[in-house]
Amino acid sequence: MSGFFAHLEPYAGDPILSLNEAFQKDARPHKVNLSIGIYFDDAGRIPVLDCVRRAEAALLAESRPKPYLPIEGSPAMRRAVQALLFGEGSRVLADERVVTLQTVGSSGGLKVGADFIRRWLPASEVWVSDPTWDNHRAMFEGAGVKVHAYPYYDAATGALAFDAMREKLDALPAGSVVLLHACCHNPTGVDLSREQWRTLVPLLRQRRLLPYLDLAYQGYGDGIAEDAFAVRLLADEGLSFFVANSFSKSMSVYGERAGALSVVCADRAEAALVMGQLQATVRRNYSSPAIHAAGIVEKVLTDPALRRDWEADVAAMRERIAAIRRRLHELLVAARPGRDFGYFLSQRGMFSYTGLSAAQVDRLREEHAVYLVRSGRMCVAGLNGGNVERTAAAFAAVL
């Protein structure tokens, strides 16, 4: 008897998550995981931040009941997120123009926002950078929204194709949604400068485009507040926009699914409408978010001692990545003199776009047990003192 599901297409797997699973199964002891966007410490472990440990100890000691959170999440966590993103004393917060929901990671926020766009802005199509995080397109298309790409990365120079990007955005229909990485672009590590962000503002306003910021790597670029520059700029300039943010990387709490979605609206009345329809969207999706994630984020952001320690931890993670970038660069320059590896230094955050072809990436994996995403994206945070030399030698061998 044939089953109900025999006609299903086999799932090809996810370009990032499936690769990470393949890495786990690889028995070679010298294997190096540069695939997934996770911060590993110099010993190759996912750190448990001391501030998170203490926040969790306090939560355990309080032994609070665990009711359902409201659909929009914990009020204290949402307030703390707003201050983190927009800054204490922000005008848009004082004017009550910002709606923030705690979501299931920033992916949950992106999906809720995508469903909302599909339902309430049905004529709007989404424009993502070329390239972008592998899952952006799938998420919006999965919500029934048409997705297109705008130029972003110039493979010839390894830098931002800003003129081409601006030209394209300038030609989009009014109401188009433009997905922008607020910092530490995934996958290229190539960001807009502050000046370039400022140049985009009048264009976004005049063309009536709706920015959708993805802020998953806050703190890994220049600093926690510094990496919120684009969020604060757009808010100060009076634009309406979405921002999905994550604590997965910045607090090293990946599996807690701690994130939020904020929408900056034209005024308070509009914000109330947006909140209502986002609540309806969440209720239809997963009903309400996780209480443990809210507790951690709230405590770390609002307890002064925990907050201070968190900021120091984030700075240490950022600085370790910068140092290992310099080391890799030094090793590659020595191994392949005359070749330009400067992009490892200029690209920021967790990722670098290596320019390696899919065939070269396959060789790295098969012959050297070094795992990168097939686009050539490398998670620099997977490098450490114990594997950087072997990795540089493997790169030099396939280049």
Distance of alpha carbon 46 from alpha carbon 254, whole angstroms: 10
Contact call for residue 19 and ligand LMR (CB under 6 A):
no
Residue 37 makes contact with ligand LMR by CB under 6 A: yes
CA distance linking residue 159 with residue 237, whole number of Å? 27
Give the nearest distance from C-beta 245 to ligand LMR in angstroms: 13
Catalytic residue among 111, 168, 249, 299: 249
Decide: is 108 part of the binding site for ligand LMR (CB under 6 A): no
By CB under 6 A, is residue 16 in contact with ligand LMR? yes
Q: Is 289 in the site for ligand LMR (CB under 6 A)?
A: no
Q: Taking CB under 6 A as the rule, does residue 33 contact ligand LMR?
A: no
Count Cβ atoms below 10 Å from residue 238 Cβ, excluding itself. Answer: 13
- The Cβ-side half-sphere exposure at 292, using a 13 Å CA radius, reads 11
The C-alpha angle 119, 124, 130, rounded to 5 degrees, equals 120
249 catalytic? Reply is: yes
- Closest to ligand LMR by CB, 71 vs 108, is 108
Token reading at 238: 């009076």
Within the chain, what is the greatest distance between any pair of CA atoms? 66
For residues 133 and 371, which CB has a smaller minimum distance to ligand LMR in the complex?
Answer: 133
DSSP 381: G
User: x/- binding map, residues 134-163, to ligand LMR, per CB under 6 A?
Assistant: -x----------------------------
- Residue from 115, 127, 191, 214 carrying the catalytic annotation: 214
Triad 250, 254, 258: Cα angle to 5°: 75
Token code pair at residue 95: 């004017």
133 makes contact with ligand LMR (CB under 6 A): yes
Single-letter amino acid code for the residue at 201: V
Check residue 36 for interaction with ligand LMR (CB under 6 A). yes
109 binds ligand LMR (CB under 6 A): no
Selected catalytic residue, list 111, 115, 133, 191: 133
Mark whether 111 is an active-site residue: no
Q: For the chain, what is the radius of gyration of the CA atoms?
A: 21
Does the protein bind ligand LMR through residue 218 (CB under 6 A)? no
Q: Which of 186, 257, 258 is nearest to 220 (CA)?
A: 186
Query: Judged by CB, which is closer to ligand LMR: 36, or 264?
Result: 36
CB of 378 to ligand LMR, least distance (A): 11
- Residue 214 is among the residues annotated as catalytic for this protein: yes
> Is 152 in contact with 143 (CB distance < 8 Å)?
no
The closest residue (CB) to ligand LMR is: 37
Residue with tokens 């807690």: 256
Active-site residues: which are they?
133, 214, 249
Contacting positions for ligand LMR (CB under 6 A): 16, 36-37, 133, 135, 186
